[in-house]
């Protein structure tokens, strides 16, 4: 674009426009050195427009953020663990590029299920063509469909349930109380489960998080298979079968306590480092932790003592409608004081299974 054309524009608009051959850097305020790693180099050469361009811009910003000592929170929605997000996430954790994970109860437990039952999973690419009767057939065979993937319940959930039940009963006898993920971590610590012969333990993000001892937050634990099972043990109402196990719900730390964990973690970790937020999909796993900053400011009245989120990146396909948390953009989050006007933000309207591997590849210098 020539100067005479640019001069017709207002100063504010003029700042938003960059030469076409530099657009891969997007809104970055840093001079990012071009990569020599083959996949990253290919990304810089090809991801230049639309959601591809947004993906690369986000990856380059995160790379610089981490290089400068920043920390990163990653949130997992949907069934990304069943879709093997751990192949990328576990390596990012091992390389100290992820410092806290907020996951739905389903995502958390499904990383364990992949670990113990990987060879029993199955795939059906043309899942949209299934009839209701075929879906019922799958149900009766114990195959729980998640989009194109079948979770084998007998080889995963039912293998782990007895170990967890024993832990819950012991906690009740001793008057102890733990977070959901702390009970699960004992499966590794006490060597109660073994990896499926065809599973690669390096692809298990919960194992990587356990080995690095990074915090896991599970908002709404009861909204998961094992959470449903725990709820059934805690229930003691009129529909309880005589003789069934009854547990005290107080042996499980709840969402309020997870929020308190986030308060303390954020204040400690942000003291010397800015913290960025990478949201994979939407829902409670993302909105729960991002609310910690405004709650610290306004509810705990720590105005002026709380560092803002340094950046917010979301990959998702939810439309910005009906007050959807999942579809709310970065600008809307400014009005709730979840982000500041100085926070970097990027919304990538895409499938996480398509966009996140590119971001991971750039962060891992592949």
In this prediction, residue 22 carries a pLDDT of 57
Contact yes or no for 5/21 (Cβ under 8 A): no
Q: At what angle do helices 180-189 and 157-174 cross, to 10 degrees?
A: 110
Task: Band the pLDDT of 332: cuts 50, 70, 90.
Answer: confident
What domains lie within the chain, and their CATH numbers? 37-363 (3.40.910.10)
E strands in the chain: 71-76, 100-103, 122-123, 143-146, 149-152, 216-217, 275-280, 311-316, 344-349
Task: Band the pLDDT of 317: cuts 50, 70, 90.
Answer: confident
E strands in 186-331: 216-217, 275-280, 311-316
Strand order in the sheet with 149-152: 122-123, 149-152, 143-146
How many beta carbons lie within 10 A of that of residue 310, not counting itself? 22
128: pLDDT strictly greater than 50: yes
> Per-residue pLDDT tens for 34-67?
888 899 999 999 998 999 999 999 999 999 999 9
In this prediction, residue 27 carries a pLDDT of 45
- Average pLDDT for residues 110-115, to the nearest whole number? 98
CA distance 328 to 194: 41
Of the candidates 326, 332, 364, the one whose C-alpha atom is nearest the C-alpha of residue 348 is 326
Contact yes or no for 152/143 (Cβ under 8 A): yes
Contact yes or no for 58/175 (Cβ under 8 A): no
How many beta carbons lie within 10 A of that of residue 320, not counting itself? 14
DSSP letter, residue 259: H
In this prediction, residue 32 carries a pLDDT of 65
The token duo for 18 is 């960059």
Of the candidates 78, 326, 87, 76, the one whose C-alpha atom is nearest the C-alpha of residue 216 is 76
Task: Band the pLDDT of 320: cuts 50, 70, 90.
Answer: confident
Least confident of 15-19, 81-85, 168-172, 305-309: 15-19
The single residue listed with the structure tokens 């919304």 is: 347
Distances (CA, A) of 314 to 96, 282, 361: 21, 8, 17
Task: Band the pLDDT of 21: cuts 50, 70, 90.
Answer: low
Q: Model's pTM, two decimal places?
A: 0.93
In this prediction, residue 36 carries a pLDDT of 86
> Per-residue pLDDT tens for 252-300?
999 999 999 999 999 999 999 999 999 999 889 999 999 999 999 999 9
CA distance 217 to 83: 20
Distances (CA, A) of 227 to 113, 161, 232, 344: 14, 11, 9, 35
In this prediction, residue 213 carries a pLDDT of 97
Task: Band the pLDDT of 26: cuts 50, 70, 90.
Answer: very low
Per-position b or e across 244-259, b if 16+ CB within 10 A of its CB:
eeebeeebbbbeeebb
In this prediction, residue 20 carries a pLDDT of 67
CA distance 83 to 280: 13
The single residue listed with the structure tokens 């799958």 is: 138
Q: What percent of the chain has pLDDT over 90?
A: 79
Task: Band the pLDDT of 31: cuts 50, 70, 90.
Answer: low
CA distance 60 to 363: 8
30: pLDDT strictly greater than 60: no
DSSP letter, residue 195: -
H/E/C letters for each residue in 113-140? HHHHHHHHCEECCCHHHCCHHHHHHHHH
User: Under 8 Å CB-to-CB from 130, ≥6 apart: which residues?
Assistant: 124, 138, 145
Mean pLDDT of the chain: 92
CA distance 345 to 332: 11
160: pLDDT strictly greater than 60: yes
């Amino acid at each position: 674009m020539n100067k005479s054309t640019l001069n017709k524009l207002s100063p504010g608009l003029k700042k938003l426009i960059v030469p076409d051959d530099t657009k891969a850097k997007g809104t970055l305020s840093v001079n990012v050195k071009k990569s020599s790693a083959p996949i990253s180099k290919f990304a810089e050469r090809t991801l230049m427009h639309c959601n591809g361009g947004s993906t690369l811009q986000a990856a380059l910003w995160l790379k610089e953020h981490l290089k400068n000592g920043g920390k990163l929170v990653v949130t997992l929605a949907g069934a990304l663990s069943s879709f093997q997000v751990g192949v990328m996430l576990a390596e990012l954790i091992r390389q100290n590029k992820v410092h806290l994970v907020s996951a739905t109860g389903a995502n958390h437990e499904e990383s364990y299920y992949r670990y113990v039952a990987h060879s029993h999973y199955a795939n059906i690419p043309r899942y949209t063509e299934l009839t209701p009767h075929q879906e019922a057939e799958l149900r009766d065979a114990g195959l729980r469909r998640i989009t194109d993937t079948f979770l084998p319940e007998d080889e995963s959930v039912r293998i782990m349930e007895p170990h967890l039940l024993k832990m819950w009963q012991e906690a009740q006898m001793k008057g102890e109380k733990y977070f959901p993920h702390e009970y699960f971590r004992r499966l590794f610590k006490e060597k109660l489960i073994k990896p499926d012969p065809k599973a690669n333990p390096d692809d298990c993000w919960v194992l990587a998080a356990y080995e690095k001892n990074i915090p896991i937050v599970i908002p709404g634990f009861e909204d998961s298979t094992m959470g449903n099972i725990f709820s059934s043990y805690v229930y003691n109402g009129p529909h309880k079968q005589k003789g069934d196990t009854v547990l005290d719900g107080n042996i499980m730390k709840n969402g309020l306590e997870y929020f308190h964990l986030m308060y303390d973690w954020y204040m400690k970790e942000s003291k010397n480092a800015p913290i960025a937020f990478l949201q994979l999909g939407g829902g409670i796993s993302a909105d729960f932790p991002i609310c910690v900053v405004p709650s610290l400011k306004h509810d705990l009245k720590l105005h002026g003592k709380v560092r803002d989120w340094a950046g917010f990146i979301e990959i998702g396909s939810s439309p910005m409608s009906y007050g959807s948390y999942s579809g709310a953009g970065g600008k809307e989050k400014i009005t709730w004081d979840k982000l500041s006007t100085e926070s970097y933000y990027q919304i990538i309207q895409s499938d996480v299974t398509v966009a996140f591997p590119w971001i991971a590849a750039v962060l891992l210098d592949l």
